[in-house]
Amino acid sequence: MSPKRPSDLQYQDTAAYVGRFAPQARARILDVGCGSGGLAAALGAAGHVVTPIDASEEAVAEARANGIDARQADLLDFTGGPFDVVLFSFSLHHIAPLGEALEKARALLAPGGRVMLEEFAIERVDAATAAWFFGTQDVLVAAGLLGDAEPSGVLEGNQPERKEPLARWRERFEPGRHGHGHGHGGHGHEGHGHGEHSHAGHGHEGHGHFSEQLHEGDAMRAGVAAAFRILHEEPTPALARFWLHRLRADALPVARQLVPLERLLIAQGVIRPFGFRIVAGQR
């Protein structure tokens, strides 16, 4: 299905990832932190049976308005399943306690089922990566493509108010200050989420017992490794996803270039990969 909006690029990419590693072609998937339902719709279009949940009443109402049968539920209290896939698409970083969330995911899996994770590692960003992120964002803002977003301040030349990119990054991700724009949560997806999650969106991305303290990428990987057997992992571009749910619909041609550009710069060693994906199975 051809994407109609910039956010569709993210949903379709995630759906393709799930399709590569799901234990069966028509998988029963628990979409944890479904946000406004864009990823659930893409997974359903790919033939999967999806149960979308989100802790945010606002997110669930938006998903239902979009035709998605989402349920308001905290992951740690959710009853259902079993599922072939428990999917955390940019939502696990906000669920606490982390270990309990992963144990719950394991309990919800059918025999042979898999946990799939796509996330970001805030601690892996260096000065060059932060400079590319904020610099590119400011170009999108100047072009009028990101709605009412304001410039980051990193491109203010030699002005006294100019902000150092890595310091600006750390400021953005202080507890209580990260507006990464899911829409969740996003998914958490949105924004980063699914984007809808308030990485662009609802403030609460998600998804379990919500925590303002973001889990770092290394902590999430360690948690998965402790509870499951890791079958596959890969670094991924993820910075561009912050913008996909905020770009105007007519900015689709621009949106198509953002992830490939990020991937190219990672391959050339110019910036660090911010995202990662993990597929894990039962021991």
Enumerate domains of the chain plus CATH numbers.
Answer: 6-124+209-237+273-281 (3.40.50.150)
CA pair distance 210, 271, nearest whole angstrom: 30
In tens, the pLDDT along 230-271 reads: 999 999 999 999 999 899 999 999 999 999 999 999 999 999
Higher pLDDT, 150 or 259: 259
Q: For residue 264, how many other CB atoms are within 10 A of its CB?
A: 12
pLDDT above 80: residue 211: no
Q: Which residues of 32-43 are buried (b: 16+ CB within 10 A; e: fewer)?
A: bbbbbbbbbbbb
Task: Give me the chain's average pLDDT, please.
Answer: 87
Segment 126-136 shows an average pLDDT of 96
pLDDT bucket at 201, cuts 50 / 70 / 90? very low
Classify each residue of 77-93 as buried b or exposed e, where b means 16 or more C-beta atoms within 10 Å of its C-beta. ebeebebbbbbbbbbbb
Beta strands in 45-100 (DSSP E): 49-54, 71-72, 83-89
